[in-house]
Amino acid sequence: GCFVFKPSTKKRRLSDKTADDFRCTSNDSEDTELRFVTCQSLWNQIKSETEQIQENLNKQLLDNLVSFLSRSHSDFQEKTTEWTCRMKFREIPTAALVLGVNVTDHDLTFRGLSDVLQDNITPYVALLEAKDCPGIKNLMQKLMGQLMKCDIDVGSLEDEDCVQVSQNRIRCSMSSLISWYDSVTKKTDSETPSKKRNSSSRHWQSPPVVVIFKDMESFTTKVLQDFIVISSQHIHELPLVLIFGIATSPMIIHRLLPHSVSSLLCIELFQSVSCKEHLSTIIDKLLLTSRFPFKLGEKVLQVLINIFLYHDFSVQNFIKGFQLCIVEHFYSQPLSVLCCHLADIKKRVYSLSHDQCENIRRLPSFRRYVEKQESGKQIELLTNDSFLKEETEKLLEDLHVYHENYVQILRCLHVFTSSLPKYPLGKQIRELHCACLENRVWETEEYESSLQLARMLNKTDLVTMLRQCVEILMSSSGKEFDRTVEKLKEFLTQFQNLEEASQERDVSVSPQKELQKKTDLYHLQKTLLELKESRRSKKLTKFEMLRFEVVDYIDSLVRRYLVPADQRTLHEIVYFNGAAVVRGHLSAAPRTALHTALNSPHWYLKNQALTCDGGGISNKAPDICIVYKLHLECGRLINLMDWLEAFSTVVMAAEERNANAASSDQVDDVIHARFIRAVSELELLGFIKPSKQKTDHVARLTWGGC
């Protein structure tokens, strides 16, 4: 939730800033406004894109669920008279929805699900969470509350009736639910012919009541059992469908419900897309595309991916992290005004102020670029603003073209590397992307070994890969790759020819076939040796030559197009590289922060007087810091008296050096009080707790002098 409000806080900060600095840098403030607008529009685009992606990914699942739900109670409506239906025990249709362990993402799925259900199947959908339902009573209350409210939504005209019901303090029992359901369905029945609203006609005459248990794992066994037993007795009157949201594995159903209860259910399993796949699609659609001008640097991307893989598996968090990057980039980089779509670049470049031009000149990548130019141009670039602008526009356009090519060639390379044994460059395209961003990929060992492996591919694989590459390159809009495509096609035809040629030559008996005839061990050895000899001396076959050629060609493409982004001029404008900032924001380390605060207070208090050399304890530090440092020196149990004495020694060290003689064994009351307060603060922070093992001792809850 906290990230959602980020843009608005920025806005506030921005307005503050413009108010303060309005006089001196009026141009800059204009840019900030523009930056803010650009950032917002970019984020909105990305947001709608991600929502689209999610919708598409969940579509299959939702379709399956909808068809299940529509099937579930239709059986009963049609052939209730048949013998089997009479004999069969009527089970509650149940969908077990396995969603993966990233519980934070489930909300979105459930929201989508309930929307779809309300549109297509039934207006009666109730979402239950375990924390609202500690007992069956609460569950029924919650359920009835949600169902009856949704009734108000549909038939808003019948408000009086509903109000009356709620005034009665409805009895939370199944029978009142059933009577409610009867009245509601009867009402819609009588209304449908006359009403022109199609909402009720979209549903059938008796729409099922869908109850969704969001987090099955957290529900107590008793509540679930009771609810299922109760509802199974009334399934004839109330067409109920249950949906269990499961985070771990469907085995949990058997663990939570005994057989006597689970036999009342008719469970079907549905699985959502795995979150890793989800992430891959998101990365594919958001990062490996030239649609969005904003890019992530290698380190930042790595941080985000690591948080995902190592910690939470949550795609929502990944997207929020991405959002943070966008906001941070536009906030901290003044030149991010230029991080926009190609069409706007020209206008924006020419409206740059002198200060912004200076900013450009200060960019390290730009300075590198300048150094490479001849001296006359260097001077022009450094002194003439309009010349600089022209040049900048050109460079930015170059950068844009570079992206487009980069993505295509990256995909081609991925086609090759993803089919190699052991995946030296990674199985997923994101790993390859990171490797390419990090440094020159062709200089790495992994690349070398994957080329080696690629030189050993068999023909059918090679041909299919080449075909895929051709497809990828054809799909790109630019004309950049026309020649490449031609070249690849040429390779393909060569392979084709080779095949025909080899078919003709196939008549000659191969040495392997001879080998099979031999049974004698001695002869076998001999022929094997001969074979080996001949192979070593043998010239490369045509196919092998061609294979080498193909691999070399791919290699040349990689060297040409997959240059790491940070070697491109002006990459700072579109690439966000503040990995440390992102890490600091996204993976908070409360323990470390607390330790730093207590151990070296000057870090946060910014007071030089508090810096202490080595392990010494400054007496000017806050009391709690002194107490904390002293407690680090103790073992598991701390004697309070010793601690107090040490504390008073430290505190008195400066204050009463002159009045040393006056100090006796008695500790000053004030110091005593300060000590007590510091210790209780430490207890509140969870470092110590009172111990019953020894009198006047407290127990440490942390270990080591960390």
Nearer residue to another protein within complex by CB, 70 or 649: 70
Q: Does 703 bind another protein (CB under 8 A)?
A: yes
Nearer residue to another protein within complex by CB, 140 or 678: 140
Q: Does 632 bind another protein (CB under 8 A)?
A: no
Alpha helices in 634-693 (DSSP H): 640-655, 669-684
Q: Give the C-alpha separation, 266 to 81, whole Å.
A: 21
Among positions 27, 262, 378, 599, the unique one binding another protein when judged by CB under 8 A? 262
Cα 102 off chain centre by: 10
Chain residues 209-238 in contact with another protein, contact rule CB under 8 A: 215, 217-218, 226, 229-230, 233
Among positions 193, 590, 614, 635, the unique one binding another protein when judged by CB under 8 A? 590
Tell me which residue has tokens 């109850």: 211
Strands 637-639 and 697-700: antiparallel
Tell me which residue has tokens 């076959």: 541
Nearer residue to another protein within complex by CB, 252 or 563: 252
Beta carbon of residue 676, minimum distance to another protein (angstroms, whole number): 19
Q: Give the C-alpha separation, 264 to 233, whole Å.
A: 10
Q: Give the C-alpha separation, 611 to 601, whole Å.
A: 8
Q: Give the C-alpha separation, 603 to 619, whole Å.
A: 16
- Partners of 637 in the β-ladder: 699
Among positions 47, 111, 236, 254, the unique one binding another protein when judged by CB under 8 A? 254
Beta carbon of residue 306, minimum distance to another protein (angstroms, whole number): 9
Nearer residue to another protein within complex by CB, 225 or 365: 225
Q: Give the C-alpha separation, 39 to 36, whole Å.
A: 5
In the three-class reduction of DSSP (H, G, I as helix; E, B as strand; rest coil), residue 353 is classed as coil
Among positions 6, 93, 582, 674, the unique one binding another protein when judged by CB under 8 A? 93
Report CA torsion sign: 51, 56, 62, 66: positive
Of 253-261, 358-366, 412-420, 509-517, which segment contacts another protein by CB under 8 A?
253-261
Q: Give the C-alpha separation, 51 to 93, whole Å.
A: 30
Q: Give the C-alpha separation, 410 to 2, whole Å.
A: 35
The CB density around residue 47, as the number of other CB atoms within 10 Å, is 12
Nearer residue to another protein within complex by CB, 515 or 701: 701
Among positions 8, 156, 168, 664, the unique one binding another protein when judged by CB under 8 A? 168
Q: Does 100 bind another protein (CB under 8 A)?
A: yes
* Torsion region of 128: left, alpha or beta (phi above 0 gives left; psi -120 to 50 gives alpha): beta
Q: Give the C-alpha separation, 617 to 652, whole Å.
A: 12
Among positions 33, 49, 91, 446, the unique one binding another protein when judged by CB under 8 A? 91
Binding mask 68-87 for another protein (x = CB under 8 A): ---xx--x-------xx--x
Q: Does 186 bind another protein (CB under 8 A)?
A: no
Nearer residue to another protein within complex by CB, 312 or 390: 312
Beta carbon of residue 147, minimum distance to another protein (angstroms, whole number): 17
The residues that touch another protein, with contacts defined as CB under 8 A, are: 71-72, 75, 83-84, 87-89, 91, 93-94, 96, 98, 100-101, 103, 136-137, 168, 171-175, 215, 217-218, 226, 229-230, 233, 247-254, 259-260, 262-263, 265-269, 271, 274-276, 307-313, 587-592, 686, 689, 701-703
